[in-house]
Amino acid sequence: MSDVTCKKFILDLLVDYEDGTMPAEERALFQQHMELCPPCLRFLTSYQATGKTLKLLKPEEIPPDLARSVLAFVRSRAGKKT
């Protein structure tokens, strides 16, 4: 599969490479392309950095009384004890 292009690499293969579902043989070809293609390697690096950045997006803290406020809200709206 020496005709693997950047386009195929980025649009078709990258997501399978990242989630680990790419077959071993295809993975080897993918990595070979990466070694030979600096633009694709840069693209891969920033794609992975995007994923790492997104993992920081969870709210830093959950309101400490949230569970209690949820129960109070439901009980008041439901019109009876839950």
Partner 1 sequence: MKTDGSAAPAEPSDLDLVQRIKSGQEDAFEQMVDRYHARVYSLSYGVLRNAEDAEEATQDTFLTLYRKIGTFDESKKFFSWFYRVALNQAYSRARRRRPASTVPIEDYLPRFSSDGHIASPELPDWSASIEDGAIARELAGRAGEFIADLPPAYRDVIWMYDVEEMSTSDIAETLEISIPALKSRLHRARLYVRQRLAEISQAPAQEEVSR
Q: For residues 69 and 49, give the distance between their C-alpha atoms in angstroms, rounded to a whole number.
A: 37
Q: For residues 60 and 20, give the distance between their C-alpha atoms in angstroms, rounded to a whole number.
A: 28
Residue 59 token pair? 């709210």
43-62 residues near partner 1, rule: CB under 8 A: 43, 45-59, 62
**Site size for partner 1, by CB under 8 A?**
42
Residue 2 lies near partner 1 (rule: CB under 8 A): no
Q: For residues 75 and 67, give the distance between their C-alpha atoms in angstroms, rounded to a whole number.
A: 12
Provide the binding-site residues for partner 1, judged by CB under 8 A. 5-8, 10-11, 14-16, 19, 39-40, 42-43, 45-59, 62-63, 66-67, 69-71, 73-74, 77-78, 81-82
